[in-house]
């Protein structure tokens, strides 16, 4: 079955190369019994890919069940997945079969697998390795023949570094990873999807389909769609119900689109997401460090002027441009902060101008590098030197994960 036939059968809309690649991977892995991990943001349609894999596999005539791991309470999820014996806990009035027992011979789709408790992860790992499980409250080992397809919108390796997900389970699940692209990476598909949803709601509500003008289509394509396909479908339904003439212009569209808030980095502070700082976050941190260093430098110069040490060279402070010195010896430096500073006031009797004429001016200064990569390398080296090569402490200082620091060291060839 080719890609177009699969799209038609499972009502998958779009011609994005990223979408086509994900579907090609799914069709190749479907005939096997390999465990698959589907990665993608919420609302991109991960469950549709699990159904594609099951329908094209040798288990297509067996049962298929989708389980949202994040929607089941932690206290009952073991019972839901593996079953329980009568009397094993309060409320267990009868023996119950779990999903892994009832779906034997078929496929189980574990959506949001990153939300599983650690104890449940251990039970799942045993099933993946040996096909064995034990019901809650039982001591008898049972066998099952189930293919597992898992999905997540989390970075499970980061979860693993935080102790929230078993690393061995991650590698067991992701034998073949499939990434479903978010809608903002499929801009060419957005208007196609909207027309499909508009036609569906036109039939449902017995009304004319919604039509967007050219400007509204451009706005639709440029929007980030944090809720992905699910959000786009909701917008199409709103317009199908609320718009009277069904001809939507740019203004009418913006009335139903939530504000596209930019995602700004957290610059300072020990937040819960400190271990997930992006490269841009690191760059901002570098800029704040440089600003602090410049402030400290001005303080040193001012103190030396007060102590009568006015003859100094630019190299003493790493300054290479005359403009830098002008910014340091600025009028704000001579404002009265104490009685001692009156001697630096030009209107005060006995004022003597600081002797700065012997500061060399470099005619052809080398411009300071403004490369983000250069600043990032500089900050990483500084953190490693501060902690004498201890990478864990250096990573904490930089506000990134230790794994990210390892990757940066390798990327920039900073190994000793």
pLDDT tens for 331-344 read 444 444 444 444 44
Q: In this predicted structure, what is the pLDDT of residue 391?
A: 84
Token pair of 260 as six digits: 């596209």
Does 158 lie in the same domain as 73? Answer: yes
Distances (CA, A) of 322 to 251, 313, 329, 330: 53, 11, 11, 12
Distances (CA, A) of 327 to 69, 96, 289, 353, 357: 59, 77, 18, 16, 16
Does 69 lie in the same domain as 33? Answer: yes
Average the pLDDT over 224-232 and give the result: 95
Residue 390 is part of a domain; what is its CATH number?
Answer: 1.10.10
Q: In this predicted structure, what is the pLDDT of residue 414?
A: 81
Does 250 lie in the same domain as 106? Answer: no
- Tokens 């913006």 belong to residue: 254
Q: Which domain holds residue 393?
A: 372-411
Token pair of 51 as six digits: 């159904």
The answer, yes or no, to whether residue 153 has pLDDT greater than 50, is yes
Average the pLDDT over 311-328 and give the result: 46
- pLDDT tens digits for range 83-105: 999 888 888 889 999 999 999 99
- pLDDT tens digits for range 385-403: 888 888 888 888 888 888 7
Per the domain annotation, does 335 fall within a domain? Answer: no
Distances (CA, A) of 33 to 16, 28, 60, 147, 297: 28, 11, 12, 6, 65
**Terminal Cα distance for the chain, rounded:** 53
Give the list of residues 6+ apart from residue 350 with CB closer than 8 angstroms, or none: 343
Question: pLDDT: is 390 or 27 the higher one?
Answer: 27
The answer, yes or no, to whether residue 183 has pLDDT greater than 60, is yes
- pLDDT tens digits for range 193-216: 999 999 999 999 999 999 999 999
Q: In this predicted structure, what is the pLDDT of residue 398?
A: 83
Q: In this predicted structure, what is the pLDDT of residue 400?
A: 84
Q: In this predicted structure, what is the pLDDT of residue 416?
A: 60
Average the pLDDT over 117-128 and give the result: 96
Does 191 lie in the same domain as 94? Answer: no
Angle, helices 402-411/391-398, rounded to nearest 10 degrees:
100
Report which of 187, 175, 229 is spatially closest to residue 40, judged by C-alpha positions.
Answer: 229
Average the pLDDT over 307-323 and give the result: 49
Question: pLDDT: is 168 or 379 the higher one?
Answer: 168
Q: Report the domain count for the chain.
A: 3
Distance CA 280, CA 372 (A): 8
Q: In this predicted structure, what is the pLDDT of residue 386?
A: 87
% of the chain at pLDDT higher than 70: 75
Does 192 lie in the same domain as 49? Answer: no
Out of 127-136, 254-263, 266-275, the most confident range is 127-136
In this structure, which long-range contacts are made by residues 394-403, counting pairs with CB atoms below 8 Å and at least 24 apart in sequence? 398/277, 398/282, 398/285, 399/274, 399/275, 399/277, 399/281, 399/282, 399/285, 400/275, 400/277, 400/282, 401/158, 401/161, 401/275, 401/276, 402/161, 403/157, 403/158, 403/161
Per the domain annotation, does 333 fall within a domain? Answer: no
The one-character DSSP state at 2 is -
Mean pLDDT of the chain: 81
Query: Which contiguous run of DSSP H or E holds residue 178?
Result: strand 176-179
Does 144 lie in the same domain as 36? Answer: yes
Question: pLDDT: is 338 or 62 the higher one?
Answer: 62
Does 97 lie in the same domain as 198? Answer: no
Distance CA 185, CA 198 (A): 21
Alpha helices in 307-367 (DSSP H): 322-328
The answer, yes or no, to whether residue 59 has pLDDT greater than 70, is yes
Per the domain annotation, does 205 fall within a domain? Answer: yes
User: Which residue, of 256, 279, 302, is where some domain finishes?
Assistant: 256
- pLDDT tens digits for range 30-54: 999 999 999 999 999 999 999 999 9
b or e along 281-309 (b: 16 or more beta carbons within 10 Å of the residue's beta carbon)? Answer: bbbbbbeeeeeeeeeeebeebbebbeeee
Q: Which of 187-191, 290-294, 373-377 has the lowest mean pLDDT?
A: 290-294
User: Within 10 Å of residue 180's Cβ, how many Cβ atoms?
Assistant: 23
Residue 42 is part of a domain; what is its CATH number?
Answer: 3.40.50.300
Give the confidence band of 235 by pLDDT, cuts at 50, 70, 90: very high
Does 165 lie in the same domain as 32? Answer: yes
Per the domain annotation, does 151 fall within a domain? Answer: yes
Does 90 lie in the same domain as 150? Answer: yes
CA 189 remoteness from chain centre: 23
The answer, yes or no, to whether residue 257 has pLDDT greater than 80, is yes
Does 194 lie in the same domain as 154? Answer: no
Per the domain annotation, does 7 fall within a domain? Answer: yes
Q: In this predicted structure, what is the pLDDT of residue 407?
A: 78
Average the pLDDT over 236-248 and give the result: 92
Does 230 lie in the same domain as 176? Answer: no
The answer, yes or no, to whether residue 326 has pLDDT greater than 80, is no
The answer, yes or no, to whether residue 411 has pLDDT greater than 50, is yes
Per the domain annotation, does 306 fall within a domain? Answer: no
Does 115 lie in the same domain as 38? Answer: yes
Distance CA 226, CA 105 (A): 37
**Backbone φ and ψ of 9, nearest 5°:** -65, -40
User: Which residue, of 181, 202, 228, is where some domain finishes?
Assistant: 181
User: Which residue, of 132, 160, 181, is where some domain finishes?
Assistant: 181
Residue 212 is part of a domain; what is its CATH number?
Answer: 1.10.8.60
Q: In this predicted structure, what is the pLDDT of residue 280?
A: 60
Q: Is the pTM of this model over 0.85?
A: no
């Amino acid at each position: 079955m080719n890609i177009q036939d699969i799209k038609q059968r499972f009502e998958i809309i779009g011609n994005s190369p990223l979408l086509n690649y994900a579907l090609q991977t799914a069709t190749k892995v479907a005939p096997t019994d390999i465990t698959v991990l589907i990665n993608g943001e919420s609302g991109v349609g991960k469950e549709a890919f699990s159904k594609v894999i099951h329908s094209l596999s040798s288990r297509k005539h067996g049962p298929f069940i989708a389980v949202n791991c994040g929607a089941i309470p932690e206290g009952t999820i073991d019972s839901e997945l593996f079953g329980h014996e009568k009397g094993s806990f309060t409320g267990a009035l009868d023996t119950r079969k779990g999903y892994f027992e009832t779906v034997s011979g078929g496929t189980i789709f574990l959506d949001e697998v990153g939300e599983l408790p650690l104890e449940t992860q251990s039970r799942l790992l045993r099933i993946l390795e040996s096909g064995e499980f034990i019901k809650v409250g039982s001591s008898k080992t049972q066998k099952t023949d189930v293919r597992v397809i898992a999905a997540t919108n989390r970075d499970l390796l980061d979860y693993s570094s935080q102790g929230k997900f078993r690393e061995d389970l991650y590698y067991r699940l992701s034998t073949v990873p499939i990434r479903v692209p978010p809608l903002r990476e499929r801009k060419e598909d957005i208007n196609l999807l909207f027309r499909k949803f508009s036609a569906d709601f036109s039939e449902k509500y017995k009304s004319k389909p919604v039509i967007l003008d050219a400007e509204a289509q451009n706005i639709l394509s440029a929007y980030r769609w944090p809720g992905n396909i699910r959000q786009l479908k909701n917008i199409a339904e709103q317009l199908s119900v609320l718009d009277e003439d069904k001809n939507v212009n740019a203004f009418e569209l913006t009335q139903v689109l939530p504000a596209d808030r930019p995602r700004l980095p957290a610059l300072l502070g020990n937040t819960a997401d400190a271990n997930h700082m992006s490269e841009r976050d690191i760059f901002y941190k570098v800029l704040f460090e440089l600003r602090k260093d410049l402030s400290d430098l001005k303080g040193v110069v001012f103190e030396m002027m007060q102590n009568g040490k006015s003859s100094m060279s630019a190299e003493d402070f790493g300054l290479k441009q005359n403009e830098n010195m002008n910014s340091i010896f600025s009028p704000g430096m001579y404002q009265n902060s104490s009685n001692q500073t009156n001697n630096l006031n030009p209107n005060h009797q006995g004022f003597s101008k600081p002797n700065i004429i012997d500061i060399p001016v470099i005619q052809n200064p080398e411009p300071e590098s403004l490369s983000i990569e250069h600043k990032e390398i500089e900050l990483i080296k500084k953190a490693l030197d501060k902690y004498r090569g201890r990478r864990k402490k250096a990573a904490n200082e930089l506000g990134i994960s230790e794994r990210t620091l390892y990757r940066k060291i390798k990327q920039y060839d900073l190994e000793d």
